[in-house]
Chains A and B, each alone.
Chain A
Amino acid sequence: MIGYVVRRVLQMIPVLFGITLVVFVLLRASGDPVSLMLGEEASEAQIAQLREAYGLDRPLYEQYAVYMGDLLTGDFGRSIRYNNQPALEVVLERLPATASLAAMALVYAILISLPAGIIAALYRRRIPDQIASFLSVLGQAMPNFWLGIMLILVFAIWFGWFPVSGREDAYAVVLPGLALGASLAAVLTRLLRSSMIEVLSQDYIRTARAKGIGPTAVMLRHAIRNALLSYLTVIGLEASSLMAGAVVTEQVFAWPGIGLLAIQAINSRDMAVVQTIVILAALIVMLVNLLVDVLYSLIDPRIQHV
């Protein structure tokens, strides 16, 4: 198992390397930060001077080599926008906000989908199933920015239960978490419903019933664990869409996380910060997937990582 984890971590290196290359080239192709920094009145000489200071006058491959060299020593570059602060520091400062938002979204998704999926499967094609199916289609169809605005309107403005934006209060995470988690909850409900239905039709469920095991025990001991296997895989796959969703949700709720930072950094061509965010996000998604695979092998004895 340890060998497996080591191997998987080693496999991340080429992926991260590829990501740095793609982000680096794309960012440079999209425009020059210097003209944006100095404004329209800047003279040619001023621009040239600043370009030289940032090393932007050198050929792209040289710039990339320098960047990679720095990266290997843990230097992610400096932020143009935040007073030359190290980019990594800028990003890490915002990480807890996004992490708490994503965690909240995941908690919602699981708390909603677990009972909803199981009930829908048990009452297949009957009223509870139809309600669950309707809600999950709705959950998937609503864009999260729209849901976010509606939540603010109803619970923050009309009822005044929660702050409209920001993260000063501890419970401020409730609304943005729900906005971000709703579509994941919907996806997971539908998935759990169908895998539950499949598991319940398996021969070993019939065996369990033939042993005289009652319906609750059949459910708890024989069915749910099997159904959770695909559920877990999808949580891993959806980790990346949670990251993407955070960008939008943070914008709506003015949530001071990485997503909001990313938008600001892109708009001001703060290259070092954007690069750092992308690399960090990729790393997180890969680590989540590794975690899922490890959990998977703990639940399913047929999967053995050696």
Chain B
Amino acid sequence: MSAPAKDLVETPVLAVEGLSTAFRQQDGSLRTVVEDVSFTIGPRRTLAVVGESGSGKSVTALSIMRLLPGRKSRIGGSVRLNGEELTTLPMDAMRRIRGNDVAMIFQEPMTSLNPLLTIGYQIAEVLIRHRGMSFAAARAETVRLLEKVRIPEARSRFDEYPHRFSGGMRQRVMIAMALACRPKLLIADEPTTALDVTIQAQTLDLIKSLQDEEGMSVLFITHDMGVVAEVADETVVMYQGKTVEMGATADIFANPRHPYTRALLSAVPKLGSMKGTSAPSRFPLIDPATGRQRENQSPVPADSEMRPRAQPVLEVKNLTTRFPIRKGLFGGLRGRVHAVESVSFSVQPGETLSLVGESGCGKSTTGRSILRLVDPTAGSVTVDGKDIRAMKPAELRRARRGMQMIFQDPFASLDPRATVGSAIAEPMLTHGAASRSGVRQRVVELLHRVGLSAETAQRFPHEFSGGQRQRICIARALALEPKIIIADEAVSALDVSIKAQIVNLMLDLQQSLGIAYVFISHDMAVVERISHRVAVMYLGRIVEIGPRAAVFENPQHPYTRKLLAAVPAADPSRRTMRRASGTEADIPSAIRPVDYRVPELAFREVGEGHLVLQG
């Protein structure tokens, strides 16, 4: 960890000096998005560039590769790769460096591969281009690379197309492609952000072990402090296009100097930070300008622990949702997706129950089934003593007043052509919950509640940032004074500091209005903050449910343990990822044959209200 001194002696693989990037605006003026950024990466070292959206970290990477549109951008400063200046290189020479000396992997494995070309060809193309190999030689080498990134049955998968691969597998293909020519530098732009935690752990582990084998340097771009702590030797913190702090990763985590770094670190949810408490707790927020604590930091008081014997506001019993798979000439039933299988839980007024799990585990379908946005196959959902499943359409509409939903993407869940005011007013008007004259007053009230000003009502969604939009969505959900809000990955798309603010807002609202939340999330650290109780889902089933403290401090089911172990610790002094996780397969699918008989589910009680699926 004390390598910086040694770096001064060795020639750096990459030396960036005074890099500035500006984009040409519509009116011809230049807007600077990266300003005077400098750093060096030594041989075999990993440097992380960390920052929130708009901090210029991705633009920095694309500037190094000169992948920005030439007519619309201007790059200044110097980028030297092993002493060779890249910014002034002719384009032809630059192309010989891309994919050869410097390779890059991107955030979105689902869209970063060409859907119409086989994955084998896409890797072989690099070898043919830079190594001048024949197709046969490139093919053999590609199979070797696929094996190296641990893709099972590499030889037969050469001719498959990307859509047959899961996100994690596609990212491995991208890594194989990047490593094809043994580059000296790998630029990884948020390579694990779109992946599930266990897959993220595998992918980070793979990058690290390949880095050791090949002796590459890595420039790692991420917004996730947990990932930084896990992988980086040195860290550069970027804020609004500028470097605000730079140094050895351990130093930055131990003694952040710049106020923004402190704000960023304080907003990072750290797994295990809630040990010994049972109530949810707000994030301590720090002002990025002053470095001081911004808000009154009282934790949610103990009396917010719900009265245990109250009548539950929501009771779900044996909820099962399956989707038929039809194929063939007459659309015959070929199988079923067992999306939700015998899920039971109850939620008390003012309580937060979190549903956690990885993609495809059925947590979102559970949320939608509760509101009957998809029709469940079996089971009962009782809200305020009434069974949602037995309701006629008109009754169901009335019942939905009491339960609202907040979705993941605040950009897609607001109508771009409706003003914020009318978006919030609409549910009240449809349900006749307020008169036309009263509704305006109510909208203003709601906006104040979520921390927005009254004049927000006249503006349109595109004028707001992601965090502000999520506040608007929350105001809309509150309009009908629901007893329960289902928040489906409501903070997952937000930057850490914004995420912390929205979580705090949700906790405040729960405290003052007594709302119950079903908080659907894959993010264990946020779940730890916000929940009273937690249900862990895997393949459509709840495998473990109980009070948050019990599940996090005494996890019983192997999957819960695996999930908790995969979360990066945001602490460079205890890197948690193990080499062992590398070869495990993807999350299995919940598709079953038609005649599949669901095994009986049996739970074992390990503590008060703490149940674990057996077998």
Contacts and interface: CB of A to CB of B under 8 A. Distances in A.
Contacts of A7: 329
Given A211-B177, A212-B130, A302-B163, A226 B329 contact: no
B111 A203 contact: yes
A211 B125 contact: yes
A226 B115 contact: yes
A212 B95 contact: yes
A198 B114 CA distance: 14
B115 A212 contact: no
Given A204-B111, A302-B161, A306-B327, A210 B116 contact: no
A140 interface: no
Interface string A135-147: 0000000000000
B15 to A, nearest CB: 21
A169 B193 CA distance: 66
B116 A225 contact: yes
B99 A301 contact: no
A203 B95 contact: no
A204 B113 CA distance: 5
A3 interface: yes
A52 B161 CA distance: 66
B129 A211 contact: yes
B114 A208 contact: yes
A212 B177 CA distance: 12
Contacts of B140: none
B95 A210 contact: no
A306 B112 CA distance: 28
B61 to A, nearest CB: 10
B136 interface: no
B103 interface: yes
Chain B residues touching A, range: 20 to 34
Nearest to A209: B67
B114 A226 contact: yes
A222 B125 CA distance: 11
A296 to B, nearest CB: 11
A302 B117 CA distance: 11
Given A202-B111, A301-B115, A301-B116, A210 B100 contact: no
Interface in A195-218: 202-204, 206-214
Nearest to B111: A203
Interface in B309-357: 327-329
B134 to A, nearest CB: 17
Interface residues of A, number: 24
Contacts of A300: 115-116
Contacts of B177: 207, 211
A211 B126 contact: yes
B457 to A, nearest CB: 34
A221 interface: yes
A204 B125 contact: no
Contacts of A6: 329
A92 to B, nearest CB: 32
A244 interface: no
Nearest to A207: B112
Contacts of A214: 95
B372 interface: no
Contacts of B498: none
A212 B111 contact: no
B104 interface: yes
A209 B94 CA distance: 11
A36 interface: no
A301 B163 contact: yes
A221 B118 CA distance: 12
B97 interface: yes
A221 B106 CA distance: 20
Contacts of A42: none
A204 B327 contact: no
A25 interface: no
A212 B116 contact: no
Contacts of A209: 67, 98
A278 to B, nearest CB: 29
Given A213-B125, A306-B327, A206 B67 contact: yes
Contacts of B99: 210-213
A135 B104 CA distance: 41
A210 B125 contact: no
Contact of B129 (A213, A225, A226): A213
A213 B126 CA distance: 8
Interface string B140-175: 000000000000000000000101000000000010
A101 B329 CA distance: 37
Given A207-B113, A226-B114, A212 B106 contact: no
A226 B113 CA distance: 12
A221 B111 CA distance: 17
Contacts of B502: none
Contacts of B103: 210-211
Given A210-B99, A213-B125, A302-B163, A221 B65 contact: no
Contact of B114 (A212, A222, A306): A222
A207 B95 contact: no
Which residue, A212, A221, A222, has most C-beta atoms of chain B within 10 A?
A: A212
A86 to B, nearest CB: 35
A22 interface: no
Contacts of A203: 106, 108, 111-112
Given A212-B97, A301-B163, A207 B329 contact: no
Contacts of B174: 207
Contacts of B100: 212
A299 interface: yes
Contacts of B275: none
Interface string B18-35: 000000000000000000
B96 interface: yes
20 contacts: A3-B328, A6-B329, A204-B112, A206-B67, A206-B112, A207-B113, A209-B67, A209-B98, A210-B98, A210-B104, A210-B106, A211-B126, A212-B96, A212-B97, A212-B129, A214-B95, A221-B125, A226-B114, A226-B116, A300-B115
Given A210-B65, A211-B126, 14 more contacts: A203-B108, A204-B112, A210-B67, A210-B104, A211-B98, A211-B125, A211-B129, A211-B177, A213-B129, A226-B114, A226-B116, A300-B115, A302-B115, A306-B328
